[in-house]
Structure 1
Amino acid sequence: MHRHLLPAALMLCLLVNGAMAQTPPGDAVRGKPLFENTRVATGNNNIANCTSCHTDGVQGRRIAISLNTGGTADPYADIGFETAMTRFTQAMTGRAEMRQFYGVLTTQQVSDIAAFLADTPKTDPASETQINLTAALNGNSPARTVTLTHSRTAAESLSVKGVTLEGSGAAQFHVGSAAVSCLANSVLAAAGSCAVTVTYAPTGGGVADADLVFRMSQGTSGDFYRVLPLHGVVTGGSSGDSGGGALGLGWLLALAAAVAGLSAARPFRRR
């Protein structure tokens, strides 16, 4: 490494490592005024407002972060807090116009701004988290609940336009009735949430894979998505069997296929 780059690189390393080890929980509600009116929120007139440079606002920052981490140009991209924190701390140490904030913003304020950058609709479990379900042939797995929560600082309501199952094994999974689905509460205000349940009901042996897809829109944006991969494995025994007892050959073959399937490329990916 070139000699004059070493101090900057060391500073970034220390800052990022320290942030990861001691980062306080971020609050998007506090982070919003820190981003939009930084001088007033910090009481420091010697620094610029974030929006003075980022005239495209927080949605522009989300697009940039998403693109720089392999995503698409989505103003409502599902950006994780850790990703937002890393990008923000890198900017403070690596961009000349951002160095005015380094050592001026407190650790808590940095964390709050990162939380605001990451404040878009989220699912629990998180988007792209694989949900593993097991059931006996012609039986049903225990239902898993997936909750969708709108961002806390959103000015626009979130419209839930579809909750679907897609992929080759979609017919082997079932989403709960409309009475308990997000479609029954299809418009969510800021911080509002809704939930769906998903079960695995195999009618054939082996394993099945599908995607649980939430299709949404917010404000004047086009549709955007949250996707959770589903993976179902058939257990041995009757439809009421929980899979206990000795492991049969069919179960072992299914398990081997499941392990192999974890590394297979998935044809459906939307953000």
Structure 2
Amino acid sequence: MKSLAILATTLLAAPALADAHLPDLGGRTVVIATEDAYPPLQFKDPATGAAIGWEYDALAEIADRINITPEYEKISWDGMIAAVGQGEFDMGMTGITIRDDRRAAVDFSQPYMTSQMMMVVRGDESRFDDAAGFAADPDLLAAAQPGTTPFYVTVYEVLDGNEANPRIRLFETFGAGLQALRAGDVDLALSDSTAASGYVRASDGALKVVGEPLGTEQFGFIFPKGADPELVDAINAAIADMEADGTLEALNTEWFLEYELGQ
């Protein structure tokens, strides 16, 4: 197996030293809400139980560049945006799509990743191979998390726009929905292209992607509405710096092309 990028606990133990050309926030503690259920962005290592992933490595790099001390707290997706927006946390991360409707509750960082929504099905699925085929069969069910981009794409891009459509089965985490897909309890799960490729690669043929992308989305970190501009500006500067020097691309390669979940 390829060595893990860096375990989150190890990252937190290292002292932060800001880059000279970036803001220095003096080692301040930044409390970050995370779900730990969206591989490969952030999840529990199946071998060790440690919290790892793209976002953890990115935040560790950001912390080094602007001299902050990340402190992570677990929260379910359902409550994350409201909790961060109300100032219970300094930040939130869990592959959060930047959307105008969410800007009413939280502030976003600049995008750190752009992805496309894909249809994930069982490896032996033959009843449909695109969104129209899925929508045309009333017996087919989709897994989704309430309030997420996959939920709204399922409703408005794949089905009929009815948020109470009985063909949607709601799950607290994407991982639970994916397990339901593999078990045959639902027939479709939607995921961004980067995460979908990781799930498919790790499934040993049990899952596959079908159809064309169902739209493009950008991911960002979230902050309380009207958040401290010093923190937001510093993190944005670090993201831009990491994009310019190739760090973001290296993280993409590490987690979306090289890391094999559970292998």
Q: TM-score range by the shorter chain?
A: under 0.3
Larger Rg, first or second structure (1 or 2): 1
TM-score (norm 2): 0.27
With a CA cutoff of 8 Å and minimum separation of 6, indicate the structure with the bigger relative contact order.
2
TM-score (norm 1): 0.26
